[in-house]
Structures are given as structure tokens and as C-alpha cells.
Amino acid sequence: MHKSKWILGLILFVFLGSLYSIFFDHGEFIKPFDRDNPKKRIKLGLDLQGGIYLLLEVDQDKLPKGMPIADAVDRAVEIIRNRIDQLGVSEPFIQKEGDKWIVVQLPGIKDPEEAKKLIGQTALLEFKLLDEGGDLEKALEGKLPAGDQLLYDKDNKPYLVKNEQLLTGEVLSNAQMKIGGGLGNEPYVSIDFTPEGGKKFAQLTGANINKRLAIILDNRVYSAPVIKSKISGGHGIIEGSFELKEAQKLAIVLRSGSLPAPINIISENVVGPTLGADSIRKGLYSGMIGLLAVILIMGFYYKYSGIIADIGLLCNILYLMGGMTLIGATLTMPGIAGIILTIGMSVDSNVLILERIREELRSGKTVRASVEHGYKRAFWTVWDSHVTTLITALILFIFGTGPIKGFAVTLSMGCAISLFTAVVVTKVIFDWRLSRGSAEYLSI
């Protein structure tokens, strides 16, 4: 009896905990599927929330000499992940695919062009001197002096820049967007150098006083100030009549570092929020219709015992949703398919148990003995079916990508929870019912 009370307490604890996890956030009631609620507990994937899918490729022809493509892709993945994290995208998916591709999924993105620009920006920061003695007019005519290059700023203003790279963004330790200072109310980017970089920048500015230093990002001149004195202390600024968002994005790409080579967008797919909402609605409808059909059939065929099985099934779904919110899992369309499959597995387990109980009753055993033996005889069959499915789900999770992982998460959690509800929750209900009423007849 003491053991039964302990198990009943565990079931109630998990039941109430699942309700709280799904519908409450720090005591505040929330709508779990509300896409516009920033406190929503059930996170939605790209196919349900809308967003952008990108397949990227590292340009092998422009890799630094001696850098293996595998190392370049790994570095690009980390840099892109850092940029996306600082952009504040909820539940991004960024993963290496094959030898040279990268898959990026950004749920909830409202401006795909802005995201693509941030991801694909090489962010190669260079410091070069202007060739103030060169003939800019001849350079514009195509008569470019040896050792020079013609670059432009965002307003298409031309600059004649020396090819020699004096310093790069590799010596930066931080970059922040700021407003004001000696620049009025315009935003600018404050940069901090590493100790070694600070020394090099001080030497660079000290050796080129009264010359113009071009600050270049991805072959675009952001500013070309006159060096008035030696700049020590390891700090500098980049100005260029920025808009606020532009300065923020520049600071992000400088903080996360430059890509080892340009990134090409091989394919892209924008999923609209309307499609996502339609997918949620259809997924929920199909799940609810299937659930209702199963509940009615079980109740009709197995009578009172079928209702007990239905209670276990409802607990199964509640526990699964509660578990997903607890671990912060992302719900996708394949994930919804995994939930529906879990319903089928739960029903299958209950059918096995109830049929075993029927066999025991037909052999002449008492109701209580039939229930006990029915559960014991069905246990290993139920156990084997769930464990083999769980192993398959774990393999899918380890080796799968994107939607396959979403399916594997719900399926693996569903397996564990289905086993618990089938052999523990329904058994406790049977024991409670037999302890409170006549044990001479069982509606099954």
C-alpha cells in the first residue's frame, strides 16, 4: 500500500508539473502555441513559425593558401553561428552538410535580405594608405598605377588605395556600436585591438602622420581619416555616416571575425508565417481527430477498461508536451508526426495488456489475479517494442539533420513516456478501482 501511494504521488507530480510547464511561465498564464508571445514555452521550428532556409557553399577558389576546405567550413560554421546568436534569432539551426556546404535555418526572420547580408559578409577588415599622389582621374579611366587599387565607399565615391595591407581585423579583440562622442549624434563603431594589435596600430599611425588611412571592409571604404598623431592605447573608431542598424551589424561581423573565404548562397527558401500557421492548424486537427477516434474505439471495444487506457493515453500526450517544454525542444511538422506515432504506440501497448487480461479471465482466474498476470505477461512484449523503437529514434537523432532530429526527439520522448503510462499509470488506476469496488467483475 505504501508503494502504491508513492507511485500515485509521482504520477500526480508529473501531471501537475506538465500542466505548469505548458501553460505557465513564472506563475503567469500563457498560450503555449502563440507565435507572437515572447514567453511561449513550446518553441516552433522553421516549418511552423516561418523564416528562411539557406544552403551555403564556401568558395574554394578563394581559400587562403594551404587551408583545407574542411577546416574552412568548420570555421565558417562557428563564425556564422556567432553572428546569428548576436542577431538574436530564436532556435537557429546551423550545421555542416557534406564537405563544403552549410545548412542554415532561421525561424521567425522577418527580413531575409538582412539576414543573408549578415551571414554572407566575409568581414575582411583591412587598413591601407591612400595613394594621395596618384592620379585618380586616370585610374577611373582604367589606367591604374602599379601597386594601387580603385575602391568605393557606400555612396560610390572612388578612392585610390595602395595594395599594401598594413593591418587586418585579426588584431581586433572587440567591436561595439556607439552613438555620439565627438561625432555628434551619429552612430559609429568603436574597435579595441589585442595587445599585439595595439602596438602595431600605434606603430602604423606613428609612422604615417598627416597621411590618410583607409578603413576597408570587404573591399568597401568605410572611412579614410587623416592620421593627426600616433594613436596608442589599443582603441580606434570606424565612422562613415552609418544608420543605426548598419552600425550594429558592422559591430557584429567584426566581433565574430572574418570568414576564411566568401560564402555563396546555393539555394534559399523563405517560409511565410501564413504557411506556418496553416501547418500548425492542420497538424493539430489531424492529431485531435486521430486521438478522438482512438478514444471512442477503445471505449467502445474495451468498455470501462478502455476508458482507463484512454486516461493513460491522455496522460501520455500531456507528459510529452510537458517534457518538450521542459527541455526547450523545438516543435516541427515531423515532430507532430512523431507525436501522432506515439499515440499509436500507446494504444498498441494498452491493447496488448488488455488482451492479456482477457485471456487470464477466460482461463478462470479472478479479476485481481487476471489484472496482475495480464500486466506481468505483457510487460516484456511492451518493453521490447518500446526499446527497439527508442534505439531507432536515438540513431535518427545522432545521424539525422534538421526535421529528422525533430521527429527523433518527439519519438524518443514518446517511447519512454508511453512505456511509463502503459505499465505504471494504467496499472495504478486498475489497482485503485479494484480496491474501491467489487473485484468479482471487470468491464473489458
CA distances from 24 to 30, 325, 442 (A): 6, 11, 39
Residue 308 CB neighbour total at 10 angstroms: 25
Q: What is the structure's pLDDT at 356?
A: 92
Cell of residue 12, nine digits: 500526480
Domains and CATH numbers, the chain: 2-40+272-436 (1.20.1640.10), 51-122+259-268 (3.30.70.3400), 123-257 (3.30.1360.200)
| Cα separation, 159 vs 263, whole angstroms | 26
Q: Tell me how long the chain is.
A: 444
pLDDT at residue 353, rounded to an integer: 92
Q: Which three cell numbers stand for residue 189?
A: 563603431
Q: Which three cell numbers stand for residue 406?
A: 525533430
Integer Cα distance of 437 and 303 in angstroms:
17
Could you give the CA distance from residue 366 to residue 298 in angstroms, rounded to a whole number? 23
Residue numbers in the chain where pLDDT is lower than 50:
1
How many angstroms separate the CA atoms of 80 and 257, rounded? 9
- Cβ–Cβ contacts within 10 Å for residue 440, how many? 8
User: Residue 152 corresponds to which cell in the numbers above?
Assistant: 568605393
For residues 48 and 331, what is the distance between their CA atoms, to the nearest angstrom? 8
Query: DSSP code of 379?
Result: H
What is the distance between the alpha carbons of residues 363 and 354, in angstroms, rounded to a whole number?
14
Q: What is the pLDDT of residue 3?
A: 61
Q: Kindly list the distances between the CA atom of residue 191 and the CA atoms of 87, 164, 181, 244, in Å, as whole numbers in the listed order.
A: 19, 22, 14, 16
Please name which of 217, 228, 216, 250 lies closest in space to residue 130, comparing C-alpha atoms.
216
Which segments of 206-351 are extended strands (E)?
Answer: 213-217, 220-223, 235-238, 263-271, 330-331
- For residue 47, the one-letter residue type is D
Residue 18 contacts residue 246 (beta carbons within 8 Å): no
Q: Across-strand partners of 231?
A: none
| Chain-centre distance for alpha carbon 206 | 47
C-alpha cell at 346: 500507446
Per-residue model confidence (pLDDT) at position 35: 55
Quote the CA–CA distance of 416 and 395 in Å, as a whole number: 15
